[in-house]
Structure 1
Amino acid sequence: MNDLIIFDGVCHLCTFSVRFIVQHETAPVLFFTPLQSKTGTHWLQAHGFDPADTKTFVLIQNDQIYTRSEAALRVTKYLRWPWRGLEVLRILPRPWRDAIYNYIARNRYHWFGQNEVCMLPKPDLRARFIE
């Protein structure tokens, strides 16, 4: 399997982000799984994370795990220009980036809403979604 993104499958902002990534990838190499799935729970627990913590966006890349702003900015390497240029934000200290990330994560349901069930991928993308 290529690199895996674990996302909050009921969060509107998170599912929008997944659709955005799919639309702007340079090549279809990323796989996705909701953190609410068995696979998402397994990977989070295997890496010492609490699956109940739905405020964490996770990228597993070459058996390394990245979370929050670091995960989001590493995903930009998979995107076409100009979105790839967002990686420059890594020059900001991680505590600053994560503070902004955490603020958005705490308020995302209020600002963007949430579903009662995880998103279902369209048939053409189903092979890239695990569970």
Structure 2
Amino acid sequence: MSKWPDDDVILYDGVCVFCSRWVRFVATRDVARRFRFTAIQSAYGTRLAQAFGIDPNDPDTNAVVHGGIAYFKSDAALTVLSALPGWRWTRGFFAVPKPLRDAVYSLVAKNRYRIFGKYEECFVPDADMRARVME
């Protein structure tokens, strides 16, 4: 896990349909507006990805900076989910061995474009969510 100065930032693949839906899912349920978002294709997102050793041209994970620590793969998804109101129960999945959780995560990540599709350009958030996007 790595340190980063900004907190509660979700790094995602902005051209991935599944990843963009994940961001909308989180934004809708994050009533406290705690999380902010950055597409890996943005200048800020690219810097963040490179700082964490993620290839911005071929990302294999999303990431979240929470409590000043960067989490990746299944840890990132569960960290975000368990912070959302009504989703604390997902903390129970941390009991599943990390190699197993990450294997499932990696299988979906590897096939995400084929299964869910890909946008030509980064998805553009609506005006309400735009204030939470870091570019």
Distance in 2, Cα, partners of 1:95 & 1:53: 21
Counterpart in 1 of 2:68? 63
SS in 1 for 2:34: coil
Counterpart in 1 of 2:106? 102
Distance in 1, Cα, partners of 2:7 & 2:34: 6
Distance in 2, Cα, partners of 1:39 & 1:65: 15
Identity rate, percent: 41
Tell me if 1:77 matches 2:82: yes
Distance in 1, Cα, partners of 2:8 & 2:53: 18
Return the match for 1:11 from 16, 24, 49: 16
Distance in 2, Cα, partners of 1:118 & 1:77: 26
TM-score, normalisation: structure 2: 0.90
Q: Is the 1:2–1:29 Cα contact (8 Å) retained in structure 2?
A: no
Unaligned 5+ runs, structure 2:
1-5
One-letter amino acid of the structure 2 residue matched with residue 67 of structure 1: F
Q: Is the 1:27–1:78 Cα contact (8 Å) retained in structure 2?
A: no
One-letter amino acid of the structure 1 residue matched with residue 17 of structure 2: H
SS in 2 for 1:6: strand
Aligned-pair Cα RMSD in Å: 1.3
SS in 2 for 1:32: strand
One-letter amino acid of the structure 1 residue matched with residue 58 of structure 2: D
Q: Is the 1:26–1:78 Cα contact (8 Å) retained in structure 2?
A: no
Counterpart in 2 of 1:42? 47
Q: CA deviation at 1:44?
A: 1.6
Unaligned 5+ runs, structure 1:
none
Deviations along 1:44-94, one digit per CA (max 9) or x if unpaired, are: 22233322232211001232111000000000132121x321221110010
Distance in 2, Cα, partners of 1:110 & 1:50: 19
Q: Structure 1 runs of 4+ off > 4 angstroms?
A: none
Distance in 2, Cα, partners of 1:103 & 1:21: 22
Q: Is the 1:3–1:59 Cα contact (8 Å) retained in structure 2?
A: yes
SS in 2 for 1:49: coil
Query: When the two structures are aligned, how many residues end up with a matched partner?
Result: 130
Counterpart in 1 of 2:94? 90
